[in-house]
């Protein structure tokens, strides 16, 4: 069986999300965006959160990273409660979030400077990661000169240069055309399986089940209004995976039936 429902992972836990609720007050009503969300992320895992738009997965991601706080429940990182921005995580954004007046080099440098990393080490890291994501030659380009795929590569370089333990990604490929996203997905997976990433685990949010099954070891399926986790599945297809493979399509169909 390539899909398992129980989690029998014996590795240490990196992240624990415990009974998280997130509600918003709007005018006179309460909107429950997340309801009783609980799951754990272990070391060496690539986890995907899948769900339709509006199911709160982006909100959940922001709570995990520390940009937002749960109304109830808590998030533990390596056993300690998350208070404010968690420096062990990094986030890649759907719309890239690059600063338009800084060059590629300067965009990647920004976070390193803020952490007080010295000039020599900064240069080493920036050069290293720009090469790894395929942007060497583009150091002095401005975001407006770059295609969507290249902009996202800067986003990756920026995140990875900080050497995060947990890499979080918010629909990183959905603003890109199918060819470019295919390319980027493959490259990311290549780095991940080749253990070339400084990260221990990856958490990705997406609305595409195919993408989730393609990329991850584990898929968490979320429902919407309110957002809760309805399935926690392990994907045990060997890598490299092929989205156009019959075996792959079978699993996609299985997952769809599980949801309904």
Partner 1 sequence: MRKEESVMDGEPLPSAEVEQIIGLLEILDDLGGKEDIPKLARSLQFELDDLLPVIRAAELLGFVVAEGGDIEITDWGYQFLRGNVQERKEIFARAAMDVPWMKKILDMLKENEGEPIPKEDVLEAFQEDLSEEEAELLLHTAIGWGRYAELIGYDQDEEQIFLPEEEDSPSE
Partner 2 sequence: MRRNIWETATRIIVFFIVMALAYFLYKERLHFPPIAPHIPTEYRKIPIYTLWSLMRMTAAYILSLLFSYTYAYLAATHPRREGIMLAILDILQSVPVLGFFPAVVLLFVNLFKGARIGVEIASIILIFTSQAWNITFSVYESIKTIPEEVKEAVDLMGLTGLRKFFSLIVPSSIPRVVYNSMLSWAGGWYFLIACEIIAIGPMNFHLPGLGSLMQEAVDKGRIDLALASMLALISVIFIMYFLIWQPLSYWAEKFRYEMVSSTSEPPLTYHLWLRIARTKFFSLLSSFFHRLIQPLLSIRIKPKVSFSPPTLSFIQLSLVTILLFLSAFGTVIGFISLYSSLLQIHFSFVVKIPLAVLASAGRIAAAYIISLLWTLPTAVFIASSEKRESFFLPIIQACASIPAIAFFPFMVRYIVGITGNVNIAAILLILTGSQWYLLFNLIGGVKAIPTEIKQAAQVLGIKGWRYWRKILIPAVFPSLITGSITAWGGAWNALIVAEWITYKKKLYTAFGIGYLLDYATYKLGNVAFILLCLASMSLTIILINKYFWRRMYELAARKYKFEA
Min dist CB 148 to partner 1, Å, is 9
Token output for 160: 């990875």
Does residue 134 contact residue 153 with C-beta atoms inside 8 Å? yes
Determine if the peptide bond prior to 226 is cis (ω within 30°). yes
C-alpha count within 13 angstroms, C-beta hemisphere, residue 15: 27
Min dist CB 1 to partner 1, Å, is 24
Min dist CB 82 to partner 2, Å, is 11
User: Is 239 a binder of partner 2 (CB under 8 A)?
Assistant: no
Distance separating alpha carbons of residues 126 and 112, to the nearest angstrom? 9
Give the H/E segment covering residue 179: helix 178-193
The three-state secondary structure class of 70 is coil
- The most distant pair of C-alpha atoms in the chain lies apart, rounded to whole Å, by 54
In the stretch 149-188, what mask flags binding to partner 1 with x, by CB under 8 A?
Answer: xx--------------------------xxxxxxxx-x--
Q: Which positions ≥6 away from 185 have C-beta within 8 Å? A: 173, 211, 214, 215
User: Is 145 a binder of partner 1 (CB under 8 A)?
Assistant: yes
**Residue from 34, 48, 65, 251 binding partner 2 (CB under 8 A):** 65
User: Is 94 a binder of partner 2 (CB under 8 A)?
Assistant: yes
Min dist CB 248 to partner 2, Å, is 32
**Residue from 42, 93, 129, 214 binding partner 2 (CB under 8 A):** 93
Partner whose footprint covers residue 179, from partner 2, partner 1, none (CB < 5 to 8 Å by kind) = partner 1
The three-state secondary structure class of 30 is strand
Q: Rank residues 89 and 201 by Cβ distance to partner 2 and give the closer one.
A: 89
**Residue from 143, 182, 210, 252 binding partner 2 (CB under 8 A):** 143
What is the residue whose two structure tokens read 């199911």?
55
Segment interacting with partner 2 (CB under 8 A) among 45-53, 92-100, 128-136, 247-255: 92-100
User: Is 214 a binder of partner 2 (CB under 8 A)?
Assistant: no
Q: Rank residues 6 and 27 by Cβ distance to partner 2 and give the closer one.
A: 27
Buried b (16+ CB within 10 A) or exposed e, 164-186: bbbbbbbbbbebbeeebbeebbe
Distance separating alpha carbons of residues 52 and 84, to the nearest angstrom? 27
Give the H/E segment covering residue 152: helix 148-161
User: Is 236 a binder of partner 1 (CB under 8 A)?
Assistant: no
Binding region for partner 1 (CB under 8 A)? 131-132, 134, 136-138, 140-142, 145, 147, 149-150, 177-184, 186, 242-245
Binding region for partner 2 (CB under 8 A)? 62, 65-67, 69, 83-85, 87, 89-91, 93-101, 110-111, 114-116, 142-144, 158, 162
């Amino acid at each position: 069986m390539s899909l398992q429902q129980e989690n029998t992972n014996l590795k240490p836990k990196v992240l624990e999300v415990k009974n998280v609720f997130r509600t918003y007050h709007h005018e006179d009503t309460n909107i429950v965006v997340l309801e009783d969300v609980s799951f754990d992320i272990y070391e060496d895992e690539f986890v995907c959160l899948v769900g339709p738009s509006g199911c709160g997965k982006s909100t959940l991601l922001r709570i995990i990273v520390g940009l937002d706080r749960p109304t109830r429940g808590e998030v533990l990182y390596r056993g300690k409660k998350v208070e404010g921005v968690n420096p062990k995580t990094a986030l890649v954004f759907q719309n890239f979030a690059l600063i338009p007046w800084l060059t590629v080099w300067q965009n990647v440098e920004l976070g390193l400077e803020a952490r007080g990393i010295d000039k020599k080490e900064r240069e080493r890291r920036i050069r290293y990661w720009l090469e790894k994501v395929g942007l060497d030659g583009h150091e002095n380009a401005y975001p407006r000169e770059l295609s969507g795929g290249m902009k996202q590569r800067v986003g990756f370089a920026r995140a990875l240069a900080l050497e995060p333990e947990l890499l979080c990604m918010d629909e990183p490929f959905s603003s890109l055309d199918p060819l470019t996203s295919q390319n980027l997905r493959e490259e990311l997976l290549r780095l991940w399986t080749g253990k070339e990433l400084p990260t221990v685990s990856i958490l990705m949010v997406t609305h595409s089940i195919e993408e989730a099954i393609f990329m991850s070891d584990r898929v968490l399926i979320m429902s919407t209004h309110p957002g809760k986790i309805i399935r926690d599945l392990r994907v045990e297809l060997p890598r490299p995976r092929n989205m156009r493979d019959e075996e792959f399509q079978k699993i996609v169909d299985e997952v769809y039936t599980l949801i309904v």
